[in-house]
Structure 1
Amino acid sequence: MENEVIGLIGLASLLIMIVLHVPIGVSMAIAGTVTFAFLRNWDAAFSVIGAEVTTAISSTDLALIPLFILMGNFASGGGMARDVYKLAFAFVGHMRGGLAMASIGGCAGFGAVSGSSIATVTTMTKVAYPEMTQRGYSERLAGGSIAAGGTLGMLVPPSIIFVLYGVLTENFVLTLFTAAIVPAALAVFMHFIAIQMYLRLHPDAGRPGEKTDWAGRLKALRGAWTVLLLAFVVAGGIYSGIFTVTESAAVGSVLAMAIAIFRGELSVRSFWAALHDTAATTAMIYVIVIGAGVFSYSMTLSLLPETLVTWMGGLPVSPLVIIAILMIFYIIMGAIFDTISAMVLTLPFVYPVILQLGYDPIWWGVIMIMVIEIGMITPPIGINVLVMHTMLPNSSLGTIYRGIVPFLIADVIRLVILILIPAISLWLPTLMDMPR
């Protein structure tokens, strides 16, 4: 039997196991091991598993993941999302749609310390949604702004998904963080525009709130000092070179815990809950990474990715057409799977194609994560929307989906801009002369 055929059978078995609800990391490990065994032998297949486990556990880059997750859990338990929201409201709450804009700003700010889209949506739904509905905002705009703003959780650095992409593709994590800064700022700006355009058509959906004077703004700024301090220490330490990325994650975790204790919001119970959630999430991610490594080895050995690269390289179409096809594919993947699963499932096949087309891997990391995040609010599934709906049982799913339409349009426009002008993503890493 040809190697490529064995590879296709392995891929098909993986998809079948996923449909049968076998955990994705386990599915990839099983499919990869069996495929490798058929291509070589069982001893070689089991040795690959051992090698991948050793590599994952000893990886200093992967050590970032539990530290950033722990920092996000302490930040969430410490009430930092509430402070970020109040700060954003103090500056833009008096504008038309100001509360929705404050929600977007709050999502971006909290995303910078949580690194998770779902965590951002969950937290900001508790904080911002009641505020908006009590002040007369339509459920459509309130739900849409939080669900869309939640996608910023994975885009705003430091981000867990960028760490995984860097590890799996052997790119520098810090360079990826830097490349995401301008696209993240562009995302916030375009979401603001989407809110204003929506309110031109539905002016009663988000009336202006009371204006906060400068004394009130300074009070909100003082109230958010913990968030600003955490962001300054983590981001400032990374980009100034005082800390490595791993060291900054460790410092950030300790600082977030100290802040939560100082504010009296970290009980013994919530402390253990944060540790439990961190351990559970980290274990899931490590299983996925190990499974992805085994599966990637087997696919490389089967020559299936190489065959795909050769085939796509011979298509009589421009590279932009292939990128457009991949965008549609990833939006569908993002609607079905979470960001991590969608990325690790596809990297063995897509990443070689991107390199063959001559695109920058740092640019592709930003684009891929961004388009998967768009998929997370895309009907008919949209994981962010479903998570939000479980927290708001009295709000219909259709209402939230209709609310994300203007943000989806803005996201697609942003995606097109960043695809056509890669320099937007690569400008800052190039300016800072960062390694590739």
Structure 2
Amino acid sequence: MEIAIAIILLVLFLIGGMPVGIALGVSGSVGLWLTVGTDSMLGILRTAPYEEASSFVLTTIPMFILMAEFMNQGQMTQKLFSSAYRWFGHLKGGMAISTVMASAGLAAVSGSSTASAAGMSSIAVPEMRKYGYDDKVSVGVVSVAGTLAFIIPPSTILIIYGILTESSIAKLFVAGVIPGVITVIGYCLAIYLWVRRRPEVAPSIGRFGWKERFSSLQGIWPVLLLALAVIVAIYTGFVTPTEAGAFGSFCALMIVIVLRKINYEGIKKALSSTIQITAKIFVIIIGAMIFGYFLTITNSIQNIINAIQSMDVNRWVILIIIVASYLLLGCVMDQLAIMFLTIPLTFPVIIALGFDPIWYGIVIAKTVEIGLATPPLGLNIFVASSAANVPLGVGFRGAARLIVADFIILVILIAFPVIVTWLPSLM
């Protein structure tokens, strides 16, 4: 009964527009009060939030956000798009493909999907409009390409998964490289086929010379250098994944200072933006933790595990059910909230069934990524549509073809786990 009341409250709060972290915290607190009484509930609320949020491992999140903010203030996003445009602009749908390539580069230093979508919206959409691209193409591509930050390291989602499951964040980062490359290729192929079938949505643009192409690379070396430095530092053991965010932030700051791409005001803006984003994430962490305590006390997690394990079906059927549930949740919930709320439930089941934890982390990151561009929540669609000043329906229709590519890639990753596990096995 208590579980039903807490879940109903959570759903009502979310439908009413209450922030996800607050909704989780309040409904979890009510559930605790109904289950263990006032004194025990207050005891948990006095100690548990601080104990969870003060974890040293969680410092990874604000540090990677700060690294991205330093690079954004240094105007690296514009140079990424400009270089990608000169290399791929002559292809069918070349500017859209350039947006995917630039988003991949931005993902490698941001770890934030929404930040990637917002950054590319202000740069790529106006350029595509200038050359006659349909808004469905420009907004849809920017929205979906932003989700690359969930799979390409340093992904915030992979960091959170590693923290929740005590899995190696370094292996998760390395495991995300090949799926990230496959996703980029899948998006580019989907755009190419879309424009080949309907040329009017993306007019052709002239070809750039080789001199212009190679000269454009001069502007993106700081991003490539930073991404390479962080990955190599983690892979070689020079820094731990927890320290990698601070290492990356320091490197990013040094790069933009040496290149004179940032001033005092830019540093202030980067710090302010990092504080705001981090505060939102930690509210979700604390709220999800309170709700998680409630589920643990009521033995809900163990009951679900026992029920699933007692099902007389193939383990792959159970995996498909779990993945389908994540896809549905992604349509109506925030991705961070999904991770904090469900991983403690599903991870023990996956391990009991004998699946690889690193592979499962990549599959789940890919799955929740899709929810960022699917209705009705589709946060990236909201961000890109708002920046481009177009109706939400235009963004969702434009994203549909790339979402199909996402589903195909997800099936491939599930069917062939070696794609994910090969690189980590070399570490």
Q: In which range does the TM-score fall when normalised by the shorter chain?
A: over 0.9
The reply on whether 1:79 has 2:91 as its aligned counterpart is no
Match 1:417 to one of 397, 412, 415 = 412
Contact 1:81 1:124 in 2 (8 A): yes
Question: What is the CA-CA distance between 1:93 and the residue it aligns to?
Answer: 1.9
Q: Cα deviations across residues 294-331 of structure 1 (Å, max 9, x unaligned)? A: 32222122111222222223334433333333333322
Q: C-alpha distance in 2, partners of 1:399/1:33?
A: 40
Contact 1:10 1:31 in 2 (8 A): yes
Amino acid paired to 1:96: K
The reply on whether 1:252 has 2:248 as its aligned counterpart is yes
The reply on whether 1:368 has 2:374 as its aligned counterpart is no
Identity %, equivalent residues: 35
Amino acid paired to 1:60: F
Q: C-alpha distance in 2, partners of 1:219/1:50?
A: 58
Aligned residues: 427
Q: C-alpha distance in 2, partners of 1:292/1:381?
A: 19
Question: What is the CA-CA distance between 1:36 and the residue it aligns to?
Answer: 3.6
1:228 corresponds to: 224
Q: C-alpha distance in 2, partners of 1:406/1:31?
A: 37
1:108 corresponds to: 104
Tell which deviates more after alignment, 252-261 or 42-51.
42-51
Contact 1:72 1:113 in 2 (8 A): yes
Q: 1:45 to 1:153 in 2, by over 3 A?
A: same
Q: C-alpha distance in 2, partners of 1:94/1:284?
A: 41
Q: C-alpha distance in 2, partners of 1:144/1:401?
A: 7
1:400 corresponds to: 395
Contact 2:53 2:285 in 1 (8 A): no
Instruction: Spell out the pairing of 1:313-328 with structure 2 (5 A cutoff).
Output: 313-328=309-324
Amino acid paired to 1:396: P
Which residues of structure 1 form unaligned runs of 5+? none
Instruction: Spell out the pairing of 1:68-147 with structure 2 (5 A cutoff).
Output: 68-147=64-143
The reply on whether 1:429 has 2:420 as its aligned counterpart is no
Contact 1:150 1:384 in 2 (8 A): yes
Q: C-alpha distance in 2, partners of 1:172/1:55?
A: 22
Question: What is the CA-CA distance between 1:34 and the residue it aligns to?
Answer: 4.2
Q: C-alpha distance in 2, partners of 1:197/1:286?
A: 41
Contact 1:376 1:385 in 2 (8 A): yes
Instruction: Spell out the pairing of 1:20-419 with structure 2 (5 A cutoff).
Output: 20-393=16-389, 395-419=390-414
Amino acid paired to 2:240: T
Tell which deviates more after alignment, 154-163 or 288-297.
288-297
Question: What is the CA-CA distance between 1:356 and the residue it aligns to?
Answer: 3.4
Q: Cα deviations across residues 224-281 of structure 1 (Å, max 9, x unaligned)? A: 1211221122222222222222333112212322333444443433322221221122
| Structure 2 length-normalised TM | 0.92
Tell which deviates more after alignment, 197-206 or 7-16.
7-16
Partner of 1:61, secondary structure, is helix
Contact 2:288 2:337 in 1 (8 A): no
Contact 1:161 1:340 in 2 (8 A): yes
Q: Cα deviations across residues 78-125 of structure 1 (Å, max 9, x unaligned)? A: 111111112222322222222111110111110111111111111111
2:11 corresponds to: 15
Question: What is the CA-CA distance between 1:397 and the residue it aligns to?
Answer: 2.8
Q: 1:305 to 1:248 in 2, by over 3 A?
A: closer
Amino acid paired to 2:403: L
Q: 1:195 to 1:268 in 2, by over 3 A?
A: same
Contact 1:65 1:282 in 2 (8 A): yes
Partner of 1:62, secondary structure, is helix
Amino acid paired to 1:255: C
Question: What is the CA-CA distance between 1:71 and the residue it aligns to?
Answer: 1.0
Amino acid paired to 1:357: L
Q: 1:40 to 1:64 in 2, by over 3 A?
A: same
Question: What is the CA-CA distance between 1:401 and the residue it aligns to?
Answer: 2.1
Contact 1:331 1:378 in 2 (8 A): no
Question: What is the CA-CA distance between 1:43 and the residue it aligns to?
Answer: 4.4
Q: Cα deviations across residues 313-368 of structure 1 (Å, max 9, x unaligned)? A: 33344333333333333223222223212222222333333233332222222111
Tell which deviates more after alignment, 212-221 or 384-393.
212-221
RMSD value over aligned CA atoms? 2.2
Amino acid paired to 1:314: S
